[in-house]
Chain A
Amino acid sequence: MKKIQKREFTAWLFLLPSFVGTLIFTLIPFGDVIRRSFLDAMGNQFVGVLNYKNVLQNGAFQLAIKNTARFVVTCIPLLLLLSLILCILIVGRKKHGDFFKATYLFPMAIPVASVVLLWRVIFDKSGLINEFLLSFNMQPVDFMNTSKAFYVLVFSYIWKNTGYDMVLWLAGLNGIPTSLYEAASIDGANGWQKFKYITLPGLRSTLYITLVLSLINSFKVFREVYLVAGDYPNNSIYMLQHLFNNWFLSMDIQKMSAAAVMLAVTFLLLILLLSWLEKRWEGDYKKKRRLTHKNENI
């Protein structure tokens, strides 16, 4: 008993600075947000769940949620797939692998405002792409002001994050012991089978981390949208953060708080789901590996 207590104490020692800081600077503010979600705007009157009702029924909120969901569901699978493919193409290339990796990672370092500048040059109604289309006698597309703006955003997101996710996949890939592949080769498996039964399962935990990080990055897209289109962009790219910004300008903090709490709860459920899934897979996977090893040692 003493040993466990000692271990726990040590654990807390390591954790303490971070935990205390997070508590003060992040958790307590969020607690305040929760509190405000049950009060009126200036924090004077208790209004129960009125704010939650108002927010859920609010048309602008629904639009923002719809767009955010649409964006996440479209982009993230696309991004994960693309980066995985690139990763597979790169793995094992000793000579040029590094060069490609560095190249793909560059977009992450470019400041947002510059990216915005470039997008304007490329996607504006008199921009480069439209020039290109015109030269083929096709109709120019006003990207920024129509629902096509959504696709510009998708492209921007994928452009920026592909390298990032690819590196994550690589890290995960390198974590799968080569012995597994050798054993499979001996068993007569071909490339596709190896991929399906060894690689994919082995990447499951990497999937978890990549998913979470990509989700975080998808929210950052707001910066670009805001710099290009201002407070009220085209409906197809109106995001949650726009709504929050505007609520802030009109002093509607009670709505902001209620929406924030709902958002946090949604993420909580999402993370719980993901980590439960991951545990199950990890468990299966570990079992499989032990079996393979056992077989080897025999």
Chain B
Amino acid sequence: MKIFKVISTITLIVTALIIILPLCMMLGGSFMGEDEIIQSIGKIYGLSKAEVHWRIIPQYPTFQAFIELLLDTPQFFVMFWNSCKQALLGVLIQLLVSVPAAWSFARFRFRGKKIIFMIYIILMILPFQVTMVSSYLVLDKFKIMNSHLAIIVPIVFSTFPVFIMERFFKAIPKSIIEAARIDGANELQIFFYVGIPIGLPGIISAGVLSFLEAWNAIEAPLTFLKDKSLWPLSLYLPSISIDNLGLAMVSSVIVMLPAILIFLFGQRYLEKGIVASGIKE
């Protein structure tokens, strides 16, 4: 039995290393000066003849790239705030709209529920390119094209969180609901005082995942936002050309940070909720 434990631990550690390796590479790269980067991987871009290698810990660590990004690139901040606006606003309003919807699907029976839910799922799976043109039409009609709303509104009405939260709401034991009903609570009160607290892990998970998706969105901003001043951060990275690899590394690290923060925050709730939802019949 002990051997099993040892093997499994080793497997876990090795897997963790493989997964974290690219992350460390990037962190290391963000502290490297331009020359060292070119020396390390320039061969791929035809910039140097030296063999490709990558030190996790840079030989000459420097903050140069950080400084260049944070102080010399004003549009970085503009894009950063754009990302914040679009992602945060989008997800918050999205939760306002989808939590009740998920509750409805989970706990009520009504005509057409199955069909509508099925439609929700299909809409969720379809890749962006499929509805690109028609979405453009609708957004244009509402005159929100080329504005933050063009990104926020589709996020708000995304069916993805509904799908995730429905599962969590469904898992709430009937007995608790019945108890509340016996105590005289109406539907709204049940939703607010029973559903949301118990389903919180689901809500948070959906929120975190939606935020990640919104933070890293590429196709929608590219198509719907003509003004470069409205572009979010996720579009900044691809536009950095080869001759500024250091900048690319640093911006990757910085773009990652909010996502990771929200992630870690959400994870704690995820844990609590998973344990809590273990309390079943």
Contacts and interface: CB of A to CB of B under 8 A. Distances in A.
Task: Note whether A and B contact each other (Cβ less than 8 A).
Answer: yes
Interface string A112-151: 1111111011101011100100000000000000000000
A245 B162 CA distance: 29
B131 A26 contact: yes
B16 A104 contact: yes
A215 B103 CA distance: 24
Interface stretch (B59-67, B70-78, B118-126): B118-126
Contacts of A102: 264, 267
A21 B98 CA distance: 10
A18 interface: yes
Contact of B19 (A7, A159, A223): A159
B227 interface: no
B22 interface: yes
Of listed A25, A27, A109, A126, residue having the most chain B CB within 10 A: A109
Interface of A: 7-8, 10-15, 17-19, 21-22, 24-30, 32-33, 36, 86, 89-90, 98, 100-118, 120-122, 124, 126-128, 131, 159, 162-163, 167, 170-171, 174-175, 177, 205, 209, 212, 215-216, 219, 222-223, 227, 240-241, 244-245, 248, 253, 256, 259-260, 263-264, 267-268, 271-272, 275, 293
Interface in B79-131: 96-98, 100-101, 103-105, 108-111, 113, 116, 118-127, 129-131
A18 B121 contact: no
Contacts of B25: 118, 121
Contacts of B212: 108-109
A205 B277 CA distance: 15
Chain A interface main SS type: helix
A240 to B, nearest CB: 7
B191 A14 contact: yes
Interface of B: 8, 11-12, 15-16, 18-20, 22-23, 25-26, 41, 43-44, 51-54, 96-98, 100-101, 103-105, 108-111, 113, 116, 118-127, 129-135, 137-139, 153-154, 156-157, 159-160, 162-164, 167, 171, 187, 191, 212, 215-216, 218-219, 233-234, 237-238, 245, 248-249, 252, 255-256, 259-260, 263-264, 267, 270-271, 274-275, 277-278, 280-281
B138 A22 contact: no
Contacts of A215: 125
9 contacts: A15-B116, A17-B100, A25-B157, A101-B267, A105-B263, A110-B26, A113-B238, A170-B274, A272-B118
